[in-house]
Chain A
Amino acid sequence: MAIQDKIDGYSFWEMIQAGAACLEEHSESINALNVFPVPDGDTGINMTLTLRAALNSEIQVSSNVGEVAQAVSRASMLGARGNSGVILSQFFKGFAIGLENIEQCTAADLLLALKTASEAGYEAVGNPVEGTILTVMRAAAAGADKGDQSISAVLNLALESAETALEYTPSQLPVLAEAGVVDAGGQGFVALLAGFTSYIDGTAPVLKVGSPAEINSHHIFTQSDLGHTEDELFGFCTQFLILGSELRLSEIKEAVSSVADSTVVIGDDQVVRIHAHASDPGPLLSLGLSYGNLDQINIMNMDLQHQEFISKNYKPLLNHSDQAIVAVVPSLQFDILFRDQGAALTVLGGQSMNPSAEEILNGIKDANSDHVLILPNNPNVKLSAIQASEMAECACTVVPTESVPHGIAALLAYNSNLEPAYNANAMQESAEGIVTGEVTVAARDAKVGGIKVEEGQIIGMLEGSLVSCNDSVPEVLIDLISKTNVDAGDLITLYYGADLKEDKATAHAELVRSKFDGVDVEIYEGGQPYYHYLVAIE
């Protein structure tokens, strides 16, 4: 591609593709930048899926750059997953505002678009925090502005400034400094810009990875793609690692897409992670074996899974109501529990599988109500919930619950006879009246809040902060609870996850009862993946 002085709609589209490709290529190292070693909605995956949703949507690409930018904005807003994905989609929204009514984008237009894009990113977040993707976006927009220049110069300056800002994120956010990483979202944005720049310059993208922590996070691949399979054949969701040497990523990528759909192939020359949907997983595994050893093989029959979800969760037509609750939940068990306590319907998602704004938006539509109250039940779902609520046709209020137990506490305060605004307040108050704990497996080695964690150890989190680490689930559970001000008369509710059997959970509950005098302990099957326990202390 020759050096350009203007970007038309077709070039813009290709530039986005180049940015997405660069982002996708590095999504694994971006995932590894997560501060907390918990199985979480990974930043790299979320940003990649957000962009891919835009690229896979049926956009009429034309020569008019303003129109294409508008279409990309809309599609990425629907596809946004996780907070980083939402901010990215807002970036494109702002970009489209900057390019409104422009047929061919000049360097000056691009400068303006970068500026409006960064501003839109800030607007998407209630309390913008510096040291995040927002800071990196703003630095890119500000640093690119050096008077008369070419498009290439604008992008190269933006990239340089973004890289510098990224390096400084740990000095702005102490948690990053302690974990020894730069901000993951910021890194994703730098990757995107690197892709843009390389496309305009006609060179191969060079990505400076800002001193990441060890990239050995062989944790289980996230389920975030499930939502993408809606219109596709289901078959078997097949995930595994290929371990080898001198693995050629592009070759494997091509081979995998010839035998499967919805493929995500990421990694390096020694470890390649495959996630693909195939009607028969056999050939896919054989293919993997021809390159190296296989590890962490996980095959799920999505036809069965889908049918199960449809049969248990699907509510074809809800009667019209003046208000209703839509909650994001991590399992069928919580779907039942939430609907039992008054939620109109649920959207499957949560930790390690952040739903897209569109999935939440569909939930809002299906709720068939004048006013929908949304419980995201996860800090990383909050922004997509807000994004969905802004795109919805009915009135919506997001009650920003940060965990499933908080969501249940909020739900209990709901009274359909009272005004939505009153309910939203009461629900928020009620949510704040409990403390949430989580017990899970460390997804990688880490040191957070002075606690050293090895991959595979059991860790305990209180309100999202790491407080306990040990090799035993019950010990972490007890330790976690002892770190709250639990008192006689308090209630501890344990929701046990998919990896625990009821008899074990019952024994653990008995142990908790014996350790904490006068405290009530109740157990329920939560069925959530990855998390042994979600705990509510009140």
Chain B
Amino acid sequence: MSVRVITDSASDIPPSVAKELGIIVVPLTVMFGDEELLDGIDISSDQFFEKLQTSEFHPRTSQPSVAQFSKAYEEAGKNEIISIHVSEKLSGTLNSASLAAKEAPGKVELFDTRGASSWVATVAIAAAKSANEGKSLKQVTEVAQTVSDNLEAYFLLDTLEYLQKGGRIGKAQALLGGLLNIKPILHVAEGEVHPYEKVRTRAKGLAKLIETAKKNAPFKEISIMHGSAGEDAEVLSKSLAELSETPVSVRSVGPVIGVHTGPGVIGIVLRKA
């Protein structure tokens, strides 16, 4: 009997990686008006950001249903499960997972990463690797815990517009209603999102992300997450390469985070060495 890793689409884990490591991804739903789209299946990150700017509706996201989780847990068969998810402060995903876990055929360990997007992917990938090495559920859970305890993330928003449209990202709320047009850098640590710094130009924001990473280097791994900002992500990836023991991964931000941040968001997830 081995351990299966299950996560949700708010992890923004690339499908190829999930497939290679045997991670089951349960999709959230994105809704533009009455139109319901399964995240990562019916709509890609790039498509989402395009639609975000062109649709007459401001999208909402909705957690996976209990049934979706039950199906995923059944798919895992007789294996023990670690179910690794987006912070319950950002999404109700863990609620659905928890209800489904009670009915699941095998043991399900629920794990709140207290992060989102690439943060969740980083934890899920590390857990899956250790599961694939034949580790026990307890050991895999310990790996997930250690990794998530050593993560820190910073991200730069291109605009406050989407936060203003009713987004909710922790204490970033405090930035709203400002008179000055600013681009905030947010910091995620210990399950909380804080305003970290404010800049007035994107170039300064990117420089600040690099500077912040350099100050805290070295890292075991670094991943970059972005919403329709592939070029900047590549530049960032090159600048940060030497700070990381393993190659820097670049991942797209999906709707769950994207709806709060808008296009142009770019962030770094740092795993301390």
Q: What residues on B are CB-neighbors of A415 within 8 Å?
A: 194-197
Contact of A412 among B194, B199, B202 (CB under 8 A): B199
The chain A residue sitting closest to B179, CB to CB, is A340
Cβ of A462 within 8 Å of any chain B Cβ, yes or no, is no
List 6 additional contacts besides A433-B204, A538-B204; criterion CB under 8 Å. Answer: A340-B179, A409-B200, A412-B199, A412-B200, A524-B179, A536-B200
Binary contact readout A507-538 vs B (1 if CB under 8 angstroms, 0 otherwise)? 00000000000001010100000000000101
Binding site for A on B (CB under 8 A): 178-182, 194-204
- CA A340 to CA B180, docked complex, whole Å: 8
B174 to chain A, nearest CB (A): 9
Contact of B197 among A426, A490, A524 (CB under 8 A): A426
19 residue pairs of the A-B complex, CB under 8 angstroms, read A337-B179, A337-B180, A340-B179, A341-B180, A341-B198, A409-B200, A412-B198, A412-B199, A413-B198, A415-B194, A415-B195, A489-B202, A489-B203, A490-B201, A490-B203, A491-B200, A493-B200, A522-B181, A524-B179
- CA A408 to CA B180, docked complex, whole Å: 10
How many chain A residues touch B (Cβ–Cβ < 8 Å)?
21
The chain A residue sitting closest to B207, CB to CB, is A433
Q: What residues on A are CB-neighbors of B201 within 8 Å?
A: 489-491, 520, 538
Among A336, A415, A426, A489, find the residue whose CB has the most chain B CB atoms closer than 10 A.
A415
B183 to chain A, nearest CB (A): 10
Binding site for B on A (CB under 8 A): 336-337, 340-341, 408-409, 412-413, 415, 417, 426, 433, 489-491, 493, 520, 522, 524, 536, 538
- CA A524 to CA B201, docked complex, whole Å: 16
B82 to chain A, nearest CB (A): 32
Task: Please provide the 9 A-B residue pairs with the shortest distance between their CB atoms, ordered closest to farther.
Answer: A412-B198, A491-B201, A340-B179, A491-B200, A413-B197, A337-B179, A538-B201, A340-B178, A522-B181
B190 to chain A, nearest CB (A): 11
- CA A254 to CA B179, docked complex, whole Å: 49
Q: Interface majority SS on B: helix, strand, loop or mixed? A: mixed
The chain A residue sitting closest to B189, CB to CB, is A417
- CA A408 to CA B198, docked complex, whole Å: 11
Q: What residues on B are CB-neighbors of A426 within 8 Å?
A: 197
Q: What residues on B are CB-neighbors of A491 within 8 Å?
A: 200-201
- CA A256 to CA B198, docked complex, whole Å: 52
- CA A295 to CA B198, docked complex, whole Å: 47
- CA A520 to CA B204, docked complex, whole Å: 14
A336:B204 contact, CB within 8 angstroms: no
- CA A341 to CA B180, docked complex, whole Å: 8
Q: What residues on B are CB-neighbors of A337 within 8 Å?
A: 179-180
- CA A366 to CA B179, docked complex, whole Å: 24
Among B178, B179, B195, find the residue whose CB has the most chain A CB atoms closer than 10 A.
B179
- CA A336 to CA B177, docked complex, whole Å: 13
Q: What residues on A are CB-neighbors of B197 within 8 Å?
A: 412-413, 415, 426
Q: What residues on B are CB-neighbors of A522 within 8 Å?
A: 181
B23 to chain A, nearest CB (A): 34
The chain A residue sitting closest to B198, CB to CB, is A412
The chain A residue sitting closest to B196, CB to CB, is A415
B194:A538 contact, CB within 8 angstroms: no
Among B182, B195, B197, find the residue whose CB has the most chain A CB atoms closer than 10 A.
B197
- CA A524 to CA B194, docked complex, whole Å: 27
- CA A20 to CA B195, docked complex, whole Å: 51
- CA A490 to CA B202, docked complex, whole Å: 9
- CA A342 to CA B240, docked complex, whole Å: 31
B178:A341 contact, CB within 8 angstroms: yes
Q: What residues on B are CB-neighbors of A490 within 8 Å?
A: 201, 203
The chain B residue sitting closest to A336, CB to CB, is B179
Q: What residues on A are CB-neighbors of B178 within 8 Å?
A: 340-341
- CA A341 to CA B179, docked complex, whole Å: 8
Q: What residues on A are CB-neighbors of B181 within 8 Å?
A: 522
- CA A393 to CA B182, docked complex, whole Å: 34
A501 to chain B, nearest CB (A): 19
Q: What residues on B are CB-neighbors of A340 within 8 Å?
A: 178-180
The chain B residue sitting closest to A433, CB to CB, is B204
Q: What residues on A are CB-neighbors of B203 within 8 Å?
A: 489-490
